[in-house]
Structure 1
Amino acid sequence: MAKPSALNTLADLAQNDTDAAARELGRLQGLRNQAEQQLGALTQYRQEYRERMQAIAQDGMTSTRWQDFAQFLASLDTAIRQQTEALARAEAQLLAGRANWQQQKRRQNSFDTLITRNETREQQATLRREQRDTDEYAARAARLQVAGRHR
């Protein structure tokens, strides 16, 4: 069995690892949120641009201008696809970060449980020693009292 001080050191290291995993999880959550916001902004901009294109087209437009609009919409579609992929990567990294944090937390909890068990065993051993010492003292006192009466 590891000494309490060694066990406490391991628990402290596990706590540090858990804290680092939590910070990383927060960072990954921020990146995922940012990717989602960028995708939302691109999608909204595409919708607004398409509506504007349709409004202008109702009044009539040249084929060159129509091609420019269509080309720009195509580039927005490409950006949206790329951002969707970036969001998927960010979500995958977030899931991996969450799994890592959970693993570190379980490890930390295991050390905490071991420390608690060790402390409980030590307390029980101390109580047994104190009880044994008390019993020995009481027995010695009783023997002395009986010996004193027989004299």
Structure 2
Amino acid sequence: MAKPTPLNLLADLAQNDTEAATRELGRLQGLRTQAEQQLAALNKYREEYRARMQAMAQDGMTATRWQDYAQFLTSLDGAIRQQGQALAQAEAALLTGRANWQSQKRRQNSFDTLVARAEAREQAAGARREQRANDEYAARLARAASHRQD
């Protein structure tokens, strides 16, 4: 296990930031999907209402009733425009969230690479220390053996 270093701490923080960005991206995707579904529902309702209005108009409709239907369709069109704007805002927020996630992920990957390199350097230094210790031990044994032969 790697010993805690400032680099490990930064890597952990970067991972936490990436996880938070991932959660936020999921939330934003949910909002976008919800806005899209609401827009689709409004459009479907408008088509059904318009079809109903046409069917009633074929059977004959008073001017007041016609105005009521037309007024409601106008209100519905306004709601559809607003929902279209909400969908556009949700898509823009999703793009921003995606860019943030990508940035956080790159940052995390950079720290992970730095930590891996530092660990590799530490392992190499440890291996050199161990080799040096083994070499010194072997040299002592050789000296001791040569002293005994003298």
TM-score for the superposition, normalised by structure 1? 0.92
Q: CA RMSD in A?
A: 1.4
Please list every run of 5 or more consecutive structure 2 residues that lacks an aligned counterpart in the other structure.
none
**In the alignment, structure 1 residue 72 sits paired with structure 2 residue 84:** no
Shift of residue 66, structure 1, vs aligned partner: 1.2
**In the alignment, structure 1 residue 139 sits paired with structure 2 residue 146:** no
For residue 52 of structure 1, what is the aligned residue in structure 2?
52
Please list every run of 5 or more consecutive structure 1 residues that lacks an aligned counterpart in the other structure.
none
Q: Distance in 2 between matches of 1:26 and 1:55?
A: 43
Q: Residue 25 of structure 1 contacts residue 98 of structure 1 at CA under 8 Å; is this kept in 2? A: yes
Name the % identity.
74
For residue 84 of structure 1, what is the aligned residue in structure 2?
84
> Which residue identity does 1:57 align to in structure 2?
A
**In the alignment, structure 1 residue 95 sits paired with structure 2 residue 95:** yes
Which region of structure 1 is more displaced relative to structure 2, 124-133 or 134-143? 134-143
Q: Distance in 2 between matches of 1:143 and 1:30?
A: 75
Q: Distance in 1 between matches of 2:14 and 2:88?
A: 30
Q: Distance in 1 between matches of 2:24 and 2:145?
A: 71
Listed one character per residue, the Cα deviations across residues 39-75 of structure 1 (whole Å, up to 9, x for unaligned) are: 0110010000001001111111112211211111111
Q: Residue 53 of structure 1 contacts residue 69 of structure 1 at CA under 8 Å; is this kept in 2? A: yes
User: How many residues were matched structurally?
Assistant: 148
For residue 112 of structure 1, what is the aligned residue in structure 2?
112
Listed one character per residue, the Cα deviations across residues 7-46 of structure 1 (whole Å, up to 9, x for unaligned) are: 1111121122112111211211111111111101100100
Runs of 4+ in 1 over 6 A off after TM superposition: none
For residue 43 of structure 1, what is the aligned residue in structure 2?
43
Shift of residue 146, structure 1, vs aligned partner: 2.2
Which region of structure 1 is more displaced relative to structure 2, 17-26 or 97-106? 17-26
> Which residue identity does 1:83 align to in structure 2?
Q
> Which residue identity does 1:101 align to in structure 2?
W
For residue 63 of structure 2, what is the aligned residue in structure 1?
63
> Which residue identity does 1:119 align to in structure 2?
E
- Where 2:5 maps in the other structure, the secondary structure is helix
> Which residue identity does 1:8 align to in structure 2?
N
Shift of residue 4, structure 1, vs aligned partner: 5.2
**In the alignment, structure 1 residue 6 sits paired with structure 2 residue 6:** yes
